[in-house]
Structure 1
Amino acid sequence: MTAKPAPWTVEGSRIEYADRFLRHRMDRCVTERGNILDPYHVIEFNDWCMVVALTEAGDLVLVEEYRHAAGEIVRGLPSGTVEPGEDPAEAMPRELLEETGYEGGQWVTLPTFWSNPATANNTCHAYLAVGVTPTGAQKLDDGETIAVVVADPAETLREILSGDRKAHGLHIANLLLARDVARTAFASHPAAARMIGA
């Protein structure tokens, strides 16, 4: 008889490394079939947040930033880290303003999803903001140099889905979620028309 998946038993755990960005945890696990996995590596991150932000004209607000692990300039959604004790619904408007200078609009919460449930413990909080406007200057961290790009949402999705532009997988998921949610939540909003038709 085939065993059914079940939570593992954690017999021990230790922190191998910790700083303000992450903790590297090493667990001794016993699986539902009695197999011992030691060490099993888990990266503990703060939760992340990201937003599909559409201007009043219906353009998509994107950011271009050097991503060191990829070794490339990557175009993606405004996103950031939820600080401990911070409400994600407050973290994302703050991150949008700091990274792009845009704010306001009507916001809808999208489904929350795991970042990588095999090896990371955090979740991603996603939003759709329609009708954002540029109101201020960027306020960037020391490790950030961000170019703000305003793009057509339909063309952005075409580039990604055709393989012409490589993108962050979680950002792709959020773009597709936002397109579907916009069709119901913002069906009559002129700023969402181009996203809905993408």
Structure 2
Amino acid sequence: MDSLHKTKKQVKWEILETKELLHIDSRLTVSVQKVRLPNGRVVEDYYQVVYPESVIIAAVTHDNKVVMSRQYLHGFGDTSIVLPAGTVAKSETPLETAKRELLEETGYISPEWQALTELYSHVNYKGSKISFFLAKDAVKAAEPASGDLEEMEIVLLHESEIINAIRNRNIISIGTIT
């Protein structure tokens, strides 16, 4: 049997107690759980950090350039090139959020959308679900109007330029690189 197939059934941990330590709107929840492992051992302090669901958009123009932005990222403390992304609002589907974020952050729209995959960040600590979308034949329809804290410069890059930007550490976000 190859390594991609389960060889043994994994048993879920039993949650004995959960205490919420911090809750900030829909932005962040931190809790600590008391859990019992399958071998009977009890872990008193298993921390969970939950972020809201988000989307990341790879928007490609008719001439195969990817719509990205160069911006200061305060958490990183420097400037980087990133794909458009955002948090899924409670009233929206991930696709609706992706369309809104692409327009707000870049001024681009797309007639053709494809859901690529759903991945999870920080899976040991719960993290969040991230939905990835491909927006084909993206065209500029407006000026960016994200209302975000950061100033952005829209950049259009070919695949080879993106690879070079990753190598040169001009792109450092794991979500963008994925």
Equivalent pairs: percent with the same residue? 24
Report the alpha carbon displacement of residue 142 of structure 1 after superposing the two structures with TM.
Answer: 4.3
Match of 1:15 among 11, 14, 20: 20
CA distance in 2, matches of 1:148, 1:96: 11
Report the CA distance between 1:49 and its aligned residue: 0.2
- Output one character per residue of 1:16-37: Cα deviation in whole Å (capped at 9) or x when no partner: 1111211111111111122222
SS at match of 1:98: helix
Matches within 5 A, 1:104-115: 104-115=110-121
In structure 1, how many angstroms separate the alpha carbons of the residues matched to 2:124 and 2:84? 25
1:133 CA drift (Å):
0.7
Please name the residue that 1:167 is paired with. 172
Say how many residue pairs are matched: 169
**Does structure 2 retain, via aligned residues, the 8 Å contact 1:46–1:84?**
no
Q: Which residue of 1 aligns with 2:43?
A: 37
Runs of 5+ unmatched residues, structure 1: 174-198
Alignment of 1:1-198 (within 5 A): 5-20=10-25, 21-160=27-166, 163-165=167-169, 166-173=171-178
Amino acid at match of 1:18: H
Task: State the alpha-carbon separation in 1 of the partners of residues 92 and 43 from structure 2.
Answer: 34
Q: 1 or 2, which has the higher helix percentage?
A: 1
The alpha-carbon distance between structure 1 residues 32 and 141, as it changes in their structure 2 partners (threshold 3 A), is farther
Aligned-CA RMSD value: 1.7
For 2:44 and 2:147, locate their aligned partners in 1 and report how far apart those are by CA, in whole Å.
37
> Which amino acid counterpart does residue 126 of structure 2 have in structure 1?
A
Higher strand proportion (structure 1 or 2): 2
Amino acid of the structure 1 residue aligned with 2:150: E
- Please, which runs of 5 or more residues in structure 2 have no aligned partner? 1-7
